[in-house]
C-alpha cells in the first residue's frame, strides 16, 4: 500500500495565447501532450496526475518542460496525497465530498 505522504500529485496550470491559428495549434499540442503523459483534465487549463514518488514527479516535470509552447504561462504544482485530500470542491453552491485517491493499479 502506498503512503499518502509518498503518493504525490502534479497539477499543471497554464494560460496560453490562442489569438492566432499558430498559437491555438501550439496550445492544443500542449494539452494533447499532457493527455499522452497520463494527465487528466480537471479544468480546461488545469491538468493533474498522480505519481508514486518524487522521482516520478521530477520525470514528469521534465517531460512537461520539454513540451512547453513558446508563449504563455505554465505553472506546475507538486503536493502529497494527504494534502490533496484537503481540497474543497464546489459545483455551484453544492459542496462535493472529497475525491478518493486512485487505486494503485490506476497509477501504472
Domain CATH for 79: 3.30.70.240
Whether 24 is covered by a domain: the verdict is: yes
pTM exceeds cut of 0.95? no
pLDDT tens for 87-103 read 888 989 899 887 766 65
pLDDT band at residue 72 using 50, 70 and 90 as cut-offs: very high
Which of 56, 41, 47, 42 is closest to 7 using CA atoms? 56
The arithmetic mean of pLDDT across residues 70-75, rounded, is 95
Compute the distance between CA of residue 33 and CA of residue 29 in angstroms, rounded to an integer: 6
Segment (H or E) for 18: none
Compute the distance between CA of residue 73 and CA of residue 19 in angstroms, rounded to an integer: 15
Share of the chain above pLDDT 90, in %: 69
Supply angle C-alpha 12, 18, 19, rounded to 5.
160
Compute the distance between CA of residue 63 and CA of residue 24 in angstroms, rounded to an integer: 21
Whether 2 is covered by a domain: the verdict is: no
Whether 34 is covered by a domain: the verdict is: yes
Residue 91, pLDDT score: 87
Amino acid at each position: 500500500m502506498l503512503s499518502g505522504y509518498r503518493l504525490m500529485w502534479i497539477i499543471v496550470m497554464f494560460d496560453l495565447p490562442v489569438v492566432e491559428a499558430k498559437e491555438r495549434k501550439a496550445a492544443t499540442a500542449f494539452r494533447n501532450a499532457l493527455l499522452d503523459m497520463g494527465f487528466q483534465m480537471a479544468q480546461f487549463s488545469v491538468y493533474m496526475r498522480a505519481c508514486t514518488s518524487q522521482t516520478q514527479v521530477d520525470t514528469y516535470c521534465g517531460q512537461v518542460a520539454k513540451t512547453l509552447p513558446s508563449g504563455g504561462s505554465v505553472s506546475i504544482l507538486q503536493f502529497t496525497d494527504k494534502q490533496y485530500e484537503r481540497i474543497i470542491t464546489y459545483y455551484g453552491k453544492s459542496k462535493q465530498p472529497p475525491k478518493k485517491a486512485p487505486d494503485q493499479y490506476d497509477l501504472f
